Amino acid sequence: MSTSIEFKKDIQFSKISNIEECNFHPVLQRFYGMGVRGLVRENLQNARDGKLIGSTEPVIVEIQTGVINKSDIPGIQEIEEHILSLVGQSEYTQEVIEHMKNCLNQEEVRYISFEDKNTRGLSGARNGQSNSSKDTFGVYAYSKGFHATESDQALETARGGSHGIGKIASNSASDLHLMYFSNCDEHENQHIGGTIQLVEHEHDGNYYRATGYFSDVEELENGRTKYVPFENTYHSIFKKDTRGLKIVIPFFREEFDKEVEIIKTICDSFAIAILKGELVVNVNGKDLSKNTLEQFVKDAKYYPTEVAKMKKEFTPLYVDTYIHAEPQSLVVSNGERDFHFTLYFTYNEEIPKGRMAIFRTIGMKIEDFKVDGHATKPFNAVLIGGLEEDAYLKSLEDESHTTIMNPKIKDPKLKAKARKFTKNLANALAKIIDEKMRENNPTDGVMDTADVLYTVETQFKKELEKALGTVVINSGKKMIKSKIDGPSTKKGEEQKGGGRGSGRGGGKGGSQGSGQGDLKRKKVKKGASGELDDSKETFSVNPNLVQRLILQDREILRFDFTNQKALRNITSCDISFRVIDGMGEEHNLIFAENYDAITDVHTNQTYPLNGHTLQGVTIKNGVVYLNVQLKPTYNRALKFNYYVEV
């Protein structure tokens, strides 16, 4: 008589009757696309959510990277067997599976771990797969798309997560989609669990689901079973003997293993939590705390140290704003109710890009908020709400908590309110920006500009006629006649409405005709300008809309937008200058190298010369008037293209 011995398994895959789903979990690819930043954000957020209730101590997270022997990984033999049995049904799955199989040849593999302290850890581990929301170990270990909720509503509102899928970020960071978690609860019970995300597959004559659990199995009555965790007796890398949770990710992706990027993610996403003393993070022995954070954000190894170069990374500015700016209240409505925020605002002419960081009460940043028409204004801001504001922001966020305008919002009423909220938020911030700009660029006293504008326009016409000469046509009206040595418009360009739109001479009234003098929407090539903001609409200016008069030491510029539908009801705009070389290529004109001053005739405002874009130029009755003081070395033969941004 023969007997068969069934070996106890460490990795549990549920059996299915046949294979239906041939793809990997779609969220794996989504988090993989976020890189190590998505991984760090999710695990630090989970640690913050697990803070000990009533404790005044900061949550401490220790992040370690290193190598481990493959043989020390729990359940690795069964993992290898299942991976080697995988078959891809598409080019993408075949590629991923082949990569997994190749990784199995390594004897030493990279890992990353996240160990939190001063946290609660997971409860109810001894109950295993109880299907009770009170047993958070079972929820975390064996459930998908579900997270345990706090009994205290205030705590639940303040939580960073709510979508129930963030834990899969750890799987996506592994070449094998493999992660483990070690838990120590309030009674010092130490257990370990883990998951691996594959595709539905056949192994040893059976079909299995895609997800495997590192878990023991307990037999119940009527042939039923449930998962229960193993006691943690494994390698020291998996050890967790203080209350809290430890995530361990073996086969850590090489492209994710970047310490500088890990540290920058911590600063970018949790600067406020750290500055408030609520979070301390240690990365391979480097402490990021309220006493050291400024050192990291001012270190050239991590961030630009010159304000003028902070065009894409704003964390050093946010930290400085939060520390030094006076807080002020900001009320924003979604059309139904008001939300009350605290705003920290800084105005600094050196800042090249204006952004506002929106933070949750747990000190986690949601996004770098841009204001249309003000994205290149010299400001920086930090916005923080309360619990009610947190609850509303959470309803708007995407699953990765990186935007307050989730494109997947389905409810049309909620979407309309969200749009109203973001529009009102932008308008409220724009008002503050404009006020600060007026304060920092005051006019020289109060004056009535009506007579000045009349005088300037009359003088402009006379000087233009004198400089270029005129002829009289049959109707008795005057036409400007070009001279070779003056600003000219080529005959062919004048007849065709200006050709390239270079703003070279031209008379008034180009926009009065058949539309040949209209503004043209322009998609500016990358690299053409470091100041143009892609959130604005940009128009190239037809030369028929521009009048230039170059005198001895100054130039008068007049832009006539009176008949331009695109600028109807617009009272201000940004104007960029481009120089055209002999090959017809555009180049930025640096104001400071060519001009001594640029003044708005309407308001007497003088504009900064630290770029090639004039910001906040006044449009009055459809007309822009600029008085430009030229440097003695100015090249009067320069030809320009002008761009209007609104």
CATH of the domain at 228: 3.30.565
In this prediction, residue 435 carries a pLDDT of 92
Mean pLDDT of 323-336: 96
Whether residues 511 and 597 share a domain: the answer is: yes
One domain, residues 514 and 372 = no
* Percent of the chain with pLDDT strictly greater than 70: 80
- Asked if residue 264 belongs to a domain, the reply is no
Residue 604: the pLDDT is 87
DSSP alpha helices (H): ranges in 298-407?
A: 315-324, 387-396
Q: Are residues 364 and 500 in the same domain?
A: no
Between 318 and 154, whose confidence is greater? 318
pLDDT of 6: 47
Report CA-CA distances (Å) from 631 to 555, 586, 625, 636. Answer: 11, 22, 19, 10
Q: End of a domain among 440, 473, 494?
A: 440
Is residue 4 domain-resident? no
pLDDT for 70: 98
Select the more confidently predicted residue: 462 or 375. Answer: 375
For 221-259, the pLDDT digits (tens) are 888 899 999 999 999 999 999 999 999 999 999 999 999
Q: Same domain, yes or no, for 62 and 206?
A: yes
Q: Note the pLDDT tens digit of each residue in 269-284.
A: 999 999 999 999 999 9
Q: C-alpha dihedral over 602, 605, 606, 609, to 10 degrees?
A: -90
pLDDT on residue 549: 86
Q: Are residues 531 and 431 in the same domain?
A: no
Over range 594-615, report the average pLDDT.
88
Q: Give the residue-averaged pLDDT of 122-145.
A: 89
pLDDT tier for residue 138 given thresholds of 50, 70 and 90: very high
In this prediction, residue 475 carries a pLDDT of 42
Shared-domain flag, residues 93 and 221: yes
- Helix/strand/coil percentages in the chain, nearest 5: 30, 30, 45
Domain-ending residue, one of 405, 440, 475: 440
Q: Is 318 a residue whose pLDDT tops 90?
A: yes
Judge whether 240 and 246 are in contact, CB under 8 Å.
yes
Q: What is the pLDDT of residues 419-449, one digit of tens each?
A: 899 999 999 999 999 999 888 876 555 545 5
pLDDT score for 520 = 79
Average pLDDT over the chain reads 84
Q: Is the pLDDT of residue 187 over 90?
A: yes
Residue 287 in any domain: the answer is no
- pLDDT of residue 144 exceeding 90, the answer is no
Residue 92's alpha-carbon distances to 96, 104, 220, 526, 582, in angstroms, are 6, 19, 40, 31, 49
Quick check: is 288 in a domain?
no
Position 637 scores a pLDDT of 79
CA geometry: angle at 541 spanning 580 and 438, to 5°?
A: 105
Phi and psi based region of residue 491 (left: phi greater than 0; alpha: psi -120 to 50; beta: remaining): alpha
* pLDDT greater than 50 at residue 550: yes
| CA angle centred on 21, ends 19 and 22, rounded to 5° | 90
470 part of a folded domain: no
On whether both 378 and 517 belong to a single domain, the answer is no
Tell me what the mean pLDDT of segment 17-41 comes to. Answer: 93
Tell me the average pLDDT across 350-368: 94
Q: Is 136 left (phi over 0), alpha (psi -120 to 50) or beta?
A: alpha
- For the ranges 2-16, 207-221, 573-587, which has the lowest average pLDDT? 2-16
pLDDT tens string 456-505: 556 666 655 555 444 444 444 444 444 434 344 444 444 333 333 334 44
Q: Is residue 475 part of a domain?
A: no
| Residue 290 domain-assigned (yes or no) | no
Same-domain pairing of 243 and 373: no
582 and 496 within one domain = yes
Are 369 and 506 found together in one domain?
no
Q: Name the domain count of the chain.
A: 3
- The residue type of 568 is R
Dihedrals φ, ψ of 362, to 5°? Answer: -80, 0
- Is the predicted pLDDT of residue 288 greater than 90, yes or no? yes
Which of the four pLDDT bands, split at 50, 70 and 90, describes residue 402?
A: low
Which tokens go with 84? 């080697």
Domain carrying residue 539: 483-645
In this predicted structure, what is the pLDDT of residue 431?
94
DSSP H or E run through 153: helix 153-158
- Classify 97 in phi/psi space as left (phi over 0), alpha (psi -120 to 50) or beta: alpha
Query: Is residue 199 a part of any domain in this protein?
Result: yes
Q: Say yes or no to pLDDT of 455 above 70.
A: no
503 near 546, Cβ under 8 Å?
yes
Least confident of 126-140, 317-331, 433-447: 433-447
State which of 228, 257, 286 marks the end of a domain: 257
Based on the fold, state whether residues 488 and 623 are members of the same structural domain.
yes
Residues 252 and 299 in one domain: no
